[in-house]
């Protein structure tokens, strides 16, 4: 997978060739045992298969050697197992089509991947909840269109991130992936003559079944899963962009940690770049790009063609691993996030009262109407010192004292219900 090793997590092992091979052996072993239980395989054959159909005897390297000759990966596995089972090798893979094995392997892999991703996401939610609580009263300037708007708090910033994480988590939880199938070549169970074999195997593996399949389980299931990962990645990208922008030299309110041995630039010694946040944004693009082929895999021809196979060898592993990776990256960023409180305050008061012009407009509206108040303050906002301009304006000064104007235009007095919003949000999470 090209440079996927650079973004390695423990999910690399889940999707490794060796792990997939071990799961295929497990499922072939369970298939033989189920066939024995319904009377299709003699006991002595099943005993040998249960002993030999393990990585101790059947090797991935041998299966690959066979694949070089026959050009079919699953039948290579079947031949490799059969070699070890001697006279009973003919009972291997009885009744099954390749995707009875492959889709069931996929169900096991994705269940494990989903569990790990959810665990990392829950950690993110815990960290962000703590940050929202700790900074719910830390006032800062809000920005819309990149321009100073009205005051907000860092609690609100983290709270919005938290809400999006909760929505993304709900999507992932709703994307069920733990499915398997043993319904044969076109889903009719003709080769098995019964659904009992499927029932035995899936109960043993703790997997669910779909009410109907073709040769494969519907790819709508996988599309939901990949979409949920792309949603998580996009939420992480959203906040990673916030960190990147707030770390800009001119803003400098928060920044990623930067250890003493770290290098920011190969040529500019002074650079401290938000590289982890940038990495999250870049990998989020890759994760989102997997949605398109996953949706196209839904529309297989007739009872199934092979066009999904090659794409899925890349899609499931890369999307799962990269999503897990950027969650871990974000957790590291958030745990070590640096707040530049003096700069946060400096930016909050930078506009000298203009950042609270809305507050003054609302207070004036009761006495002169909203539209007239808006026009008046729009003109005053052109002045460098808005507070002073308001104090010396005859209309405003007639209605409010200098002290009242200062209080109205103090950002700390215009945070609305921000604290209550965060308290309510955190209460709902708990």
- Examine residue 428 and state whether it is found in any structural domain, yes or no: no
Identify the pLDDT of residue 80. Answer: 96
Domain hosting residue 365, numbered range: 354-409
Which of 36, 59, 91 is where one domain is finished?
Answer: 91
Q: 0.85 exceeded by the pTM? A: yes
Query: Do 70 and 133 reside in the same domain of the chain?
Result: no
Catalytic residues: 145, 265
| Whether pLDDT at 259 is above 70 | no
> Domain check: are 22 and 77 in the same one?
yes
- pLDDT-derived band at 265 (thresholds 50, 70, 90) equals low
Residues in the chain: 430
CA dihedral (419, 421, 425, 428) in degrees, to 10, reads 110
Residues 253 and 398 in one domain: no
Residue 390 lies in a domain: yes
- What pLDDT score does 138 carry? 98
Residues 332 and 404 in one domain: no
Q: How many domains, the chain?
A: 3
pLDDT band with cut points at 50, 70 and 90 for residue 375: very high
pLDDT at position 3 over 70? no
Q: How far, in Å, CA of 318 to CA of 249, rounded?
A: 34
> What one-character DSSP code corresponds to residue 146?
T
As a whole number of angstroms, the distance between CA 365 and CA 341 comes to: 34
Q: How far is CA 209 from CA 33, 103, 106, in A?
A: 19, 11, 13
Task: Please state, rounded to an integer, the average pLDDT across all residues of the chain.
Answer: 95
134 and 81 part of one domain = no
Task: Looking at the structure, tell me whether residues 203 and 293 fall in a common domain.
Answer: yes
User: 2 pLDDT band (50/70/90 cuts)?
Assistant: very low
Answer whether residue 416 is part of any domain.
Answer: no
The model's pLDDT over 285-303, given as tens digits with 9 standing for 90+, comes to 999 999 999 999 999 999 9
* 115 lies in the same domain as 51: no
Mean pLDDT of 250-276: 80
Average pLDDT over residues 266-291: 89
The three-state secondary structure class of 60 is helix
Statement to judge: residues 60 and 105 lie in one domain: no
With a cut of 90, say whether residue 99 has pLDDT above it. Answer: yes
How many angstroms separate the CA atoms of 338 and 236, rounded?
A: 18
What tokens appear for 410 in the block? 């103090």
- Domain at 289, CATH number: 1.20.200.10
Contact criterion met (CB below 8 Å) for 389 and 357: no
- On whether both 87 and 102 belong to a single domain, the answer is no
Q: What is the pLDDT of residue 392?
A: 96
- Of 91, 118, 150, which residue sits at a domain end? 91
The angle at the Cα of 81, spanning 77 to 85, to the nearest 5 degrees, equals 165
Residues 103 and 121 in one domain: yes
Predicted confidence at residue 260, as pLDDT, reads 66
**Per-residue pLDDT reduced to its tens digit, 33-78:** 999 999 999 999 999 999 999 999 999 999 999 999 999 999 999 9
Choice among 205-219, 251-265, 348-362 with the minimum mean pLDDT: 251-265
387 found inside a domain? yes
User: Same structural domain for residues 59 and 146?
Assistant: no
- The average pLDDT across 385-400 equals 96
Say what the pLDDT of residue 6 is. Answer: 85
Percent of the chain residues topping a pLDDT of 90: 94
Q: Please determine, for residue 1, whether its predicted confidence score (pLDDT) is greater than 60.
A: no
Instruction: Please give the share of the chain, as a percent, with pLDDT higher than 70.
Output: 97
Two structure tokens written together for 223 = 């599309």
Report the C-alpha gap between 399 and 56 in whole angstroms: 88
Assign 273 a pLDDT band (cuts: 50, 70, 90). confident
């Amino acid at each position: 997978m090209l440079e996927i090793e650079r973004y390695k997590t423990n999910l690399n092992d889940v999707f490794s060739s060796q792990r997939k091979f071990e799961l295929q052996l497990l499922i072939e072993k369970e298939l033989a045992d189920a066939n024995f239980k319904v009377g299709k395989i003699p006991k002595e054959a099943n005993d040998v298969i249960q002993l030999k159909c393990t990585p101790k005897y059947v090797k991935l390297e041998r299966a690959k050697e066979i694949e070089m000759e026959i050009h079919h990966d699953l039948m290579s596995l079947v031949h490799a197992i059969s070699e070890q089972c001697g006279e009973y090798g003919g009972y291997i893979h009885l009744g099954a089509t390749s995707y009875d094995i492959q889709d069931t392997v996929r169900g096991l892999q994705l269940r494990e991947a989903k569990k790990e991703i959810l665990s990392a996401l829950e950690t993110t939610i815990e960290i962000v909840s703590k940050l929202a609580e700790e900074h719910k009263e830390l006032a800062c300037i809000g920005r819309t269109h990149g321009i100073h708007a009205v005051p907000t708090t860092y609690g609100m910033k983290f709270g919005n991130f938290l809400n999006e994480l909760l929505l993304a988590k709900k999507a992932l939880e709703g994307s069920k992936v733990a499915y398997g199938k043993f319904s044969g070549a076109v889903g009719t169970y003709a080769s098995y003559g019964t659904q009992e074999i499927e029932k035995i195997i899936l109960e043993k593996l703790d997997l669910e079944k779909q009410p109907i399949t073709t040769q494969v389980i519907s790819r709508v299931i996988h599309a939901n899963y990949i979409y949920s990962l792309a949603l998580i990645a996009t939420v992480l990208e959203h906040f990673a962009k916030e960190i990147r922008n707030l770390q800009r030299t001119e803003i400098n309110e928060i920044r990623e940690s930067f250890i003493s041995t770290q290098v920011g630039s190969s040529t500019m010694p002074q650079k401290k770049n938000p590289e982890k946040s940038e990495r999250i944004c870049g990998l989020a693009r890759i994760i989102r790009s997997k949605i398109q082929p996953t949706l196209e895999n839904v529309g297989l021809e007739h009872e199934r063609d092979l066009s999904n196979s090659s794409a899925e060898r890349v899609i499931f592993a890369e999307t799962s691993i990269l999503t897990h990776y950027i969650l871990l990256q974000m957790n590291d960023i958030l745990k070590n996030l640096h707040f530049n409180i003096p700069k946060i305050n400096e930016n909050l008061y930078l506009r000298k009262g203009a950042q609270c012009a809305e507050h003054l407009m609302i207070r004036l509206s009761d006495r002169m109407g909203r539209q007239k108040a808006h026009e008046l303050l729009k003109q005053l906002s052109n002045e460098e010192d808005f507070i002073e301009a308001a104090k010396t304006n005859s209309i405003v000064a007639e209605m409010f004292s200098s002290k009242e104007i200062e209080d109205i235009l103090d950002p700390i007095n215009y945070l609305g219900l921000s604290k209550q919003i965060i308290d309510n949000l955190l209460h709902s999470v708990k």
